[in-house]
A and B are shown apart, each in its own frame.
Chain A
Amino acid sequence: MKLIKAIIRPNKLDEVKDALARLNVSGMTVSEVRGHGRQKGHKAIYRGREYEVSLLPKVMIDIVLPDDLVDETIRTIIETARTGEIGDGRVFVLPVEQGYNIRTGERDI
Chain B
Amino acid sequence: MGPARSEQNKTHGSAQLQTLRESLRLELDRIKISFFATRDGLAAVRAISGLMDRIIGDIFDASLARLKPGERAQRLALIALGGYGRRELHPYSDIDLMLLCERRPDKRTEGVIKEVLHALWDLNLRIGHTIRVPWECGRLDRRNVEFSASLIDARFLAGDRALYLKFRHEARTRLFGKNKNRFLRSLIDLIKQRHARYGDTIYQLEPDLKEAPGTLRDVQAALWLAKLIYEIESEQELAAQGAIDCRELEGLNRAREFLLQLRTYLHFLSGRNRDVLYYEMQDEIAPALGYRDEAGGTAVENLMRDYFLNAGHVYRFLKRMIARADSRGRPRETIALLKSAPGNDAGYLLTSETIDFENPNALGEKPQSFLKIFELSQRLQLKVGERSLAAIRERLDLIDERLLVEPENRELFFSMLKGKRGVYDRLSLMHEIGLLGRLFPEFEGIRCHVRRDFYHKYTVDEHSLMAVRNIEELRVSHRPMDERFKELLSELEKPELLLFALLFHDVGKASPSGGHVTHSLELVERILARLQLDPERSEMIRFLVANHLEMSAVMRKRDLSDEEAIERFADLVATPERLKMLCLCTYADIKAVGQETLTAWKADLLWQLYVDTYNELMRGIDDRIDSARDLEALDIDRILRHLPEGHIRAKLERFVDGFPRRYLKGDPARIAEHFLLFEQVEDKNDAAVSISPRGELYQLCVVAGDKPYLFSKITGTLAYFGMNIIRGQGFANKSGLILDVIDFEDPDDTFKLNRSEPERLRAMLREAIRGELDIYKLLESKEKSVLFRKRKMNIPTVIGFDDEHSQKYTVLEIVSQDRLGLLFHISRAISEQGCNIEIALISTEGPKAIDVFYLTKDNKKLAPAVQEQLRSRLLETLA
CB distance from A62 to the nearest CB of B (A): 16
CB distance from B277 to the nearest CB of A (A): 21
Contact of B608 with A by CB under 8 A: yes
Known: A32-B602, A57-B604. A46 touches B611 (CB 8 A): yes
**Contact, CB under 8 Å: A32 / B556:** no
**Contact, CB under 8 Å: A87 / B614:** no
Question: Contacts of A72 on B, CB cut-off 8 Å?
Answer: none
Contact of A94 with B by CB under 8 A: no
**A57 CA to B602 CA, complexed, in Å:** 8
**Contact, CB under 8 Å: A44 / B558:** no
**Contact, CB under 8 Å: A48 / B605:** no
Contact of B815 with A by CB under 8 A: yes
Known: A48-B850, A53-B608, A57-B605. A32 touches B599 (CB 8 A): yes
**Contact, CB under 8 Å: A46 / B559:** no
Tell me which of A6-14, A16-24, A63-71, A99-107 binds B. A6-14
Contact of A38 with B by CB under 8 A: no
Taken residue by residue from 22 to 57, chain A's Cβ proximity to chain B (1 for < 8 Å, 0 otherwise) reads as 000000000011100000000011111100010001
**Contact, CB under 8 Å: B601 / A34:** yes
**Contact, CB under 8 Å: B814 / A48:** yes
**A27 CA to B555 CA, complexed, in Å:** 25
With both beta carbons as reference points, the residue of chain B lying nearest to A31 in the complex is identified as B601
Contact of B561 with A by CB under 8 A: yes
**A85 CA to B572 CA, complexed, in Å:** 26
CB distance from B551 to the nearest CB of A (A): 14
With both beta carbons as reference points, the residue of chain A lying nearest to B799 in the complex is identified as A48
**Contact, CB under 8 Å: B556 / A11:** yes
CB distance from A44 to the nearest CB of B (A): 6
**Contact, CB under 8 Å: A57 / B601:** yes
- The listed residue with most B CB atoms (<10 A of its CB), out of A11, A49, A83, is A11
Question: Contacts of B555 on A, CB cut-off 8 Å?
Answer: 10
What class of interface size applies to chain A in its complex with B? Answer: 10 to 19
CB distance from A30 to the nearest CB of B (A): 12
Known: A32-B599, A34-B601, A57-B601. A44 touches B611 (CB 8 A): yes
Contact of B337 with A by CB under 8 A: no
**Contact, CB under 8 Å: B611 / A9:** no
**A15 CA to B611 CA, complexed, in Å:** 26
Question: Contacts of A53 on B, CB cut-off 8 Å?
Answer: 608
With both beta carbons as reference points, the residue of chain B lying nearest to A86 in the complex is identified as B561
**Contact, CB under 8 Å: A48 / B559:** no
Taken residue by residue from 522 to 561, chain B's Cβ proximity to chain A (1 for < 8 Å, 0 otherwise) reads as 0000000000000000000000000000000001111111
Question: Contacts of B558 on A, CB cut-off 8 Å?
Answer: 11
Known: A46-B615, A48-B850. A9 touches B559 (CB 8 A): yes
Question: Contacts of A11 on B, CB cut-off 8 Å?
Answer: 556-560
CB distance from A24 to the nearest CB of B (A): 21
**Contact, CB under 8 Å: B556 / A10:** yes
CB distance from B458 to the nearest CB of A (A): 22
**A1 CA to B642 CA, complexed, in Å:** 70
Q: Determine which of A14, A34, A46, A57 lies in contact with B557 in the assembled complex, contact meaning CB atoms within 8 Å.
A: A14
With both beta carbons as reference points, the residue of chain A lying nearest to B848 in the complex is identified as A47
Question: Contacts of B708 on A, CB cut-off 8 Å?
Answer: none
Q: Determine which of B560, B608, B815 lies in contact with A47 in the assembled complex, contact meaning CB atoms within 8 Å.
A: B815
**A46 CA to B611 CA, complexed, in Å:** 6
Question: Contacts of B557 on A, CB cut-off 8 Å?
Answer: 11, 14
Q: Determine which of A33, A34, A48, A87 lies in contact with B798 in the assembled complex, contact meaning CB atoms within 8 Å.
A: A48
Contact of B746 with A by CB under 8 A: no
Question: Contacts of A32 on B, CB cut-off 8 Å?
Answer: 599, 601-602
**Contact, CB under 8 Å: B615 / A45:** yes
Question: Contacts of B848 on A, CB cut-off 8 Å?
Answer: 47
CB distance from B590 to the nearest CB of A (A): 13
**Contact, CB under 8 Å: A87 / B561:** yes
**A104 CA to B611 CA, complexed, in Å:** 49
With both beta carbons as reference points, the residue of chain A lying nearest to B805 in the complex is identified as A45
Taken residue by residue from 66 to 99, chain A's Cβ proximity to chain B (1 for < 8 Å, 0 otherwise) reads as 0000000000000000010101000000000000
Contact of B251 with A by CB under 8 A: no
- The listed residue with most B CB atoms (<10 A of its CB), out of A45, A48, A85, A87, is A48
Question: Contacts of A10 on B, CB cut-off 8 Å?
Answer: 555-556, 605
CB distance from A92 to the nearest CB of B (A): 21
Contact of B353 with A by CB under 8 A: no
**Contact, CB under 8 Å: A48 / B615:** no
CB distance from A32 to the nearest CB of B (A): 4
Known: A11-B558, A11-B559. A47 touches B850 (CB 8 A): yes
**A83 CA to B602 CA, complexed, in Å:** 22
Taken residue by residue from 847 to 878, chain B's Cβ proximity to chain A (1 for < 8 Å, 0 otherwise) reads as 01010000000000000000000000000000
Question: Contacts of A34 on B, CB cut-off 8 Å?
Answer: 601, 604
| 30 pairs, A vs B, C-beta closer than 8 Å | A9-B559, A10-B555, A10-B556, A11-B556, A11-B557, A11-B560, A13-B556, A14-B556, A14-B557, A32-B599, A32-B601, A34-B604, A44-B608, A44-B612, A45-B800, A46-B614, A47-B848, A47-B850, A48-B799, A48-B800, A48-B814, A48-B815, A48-B850, A49-B798, A57-B604, A57-B605, A57-B608, A83-B559, A85-B559, A87-B561
19 other contacts beyond A34-B601, A47-B848, with CB at 8 A cut-off?
A: A10-B605, A11-B558, A11-B559, A14-B557, A32-B602, A34-B604, A44-B611, A46-B611, A46-B615, A47-B813, A48-B813, A53-B608, A57-B601, A57-B604, A57-B605, A57-B608, A83-B559, A85-B561, A87-B561
Interfacial residues, chain A to chain B (CB-CB below 8 A): 9-11, 13-14, 32-34, 44-49, 53, 57, 83, 85, 87
Q: Which 10 A-B pairs have the closest CB atoms?
A: A32-B601, A48-B815, A48-B798, A48-B813, A46-B611, A48-B800, A57-B605, A11-B559, A11-B557, A47-B815
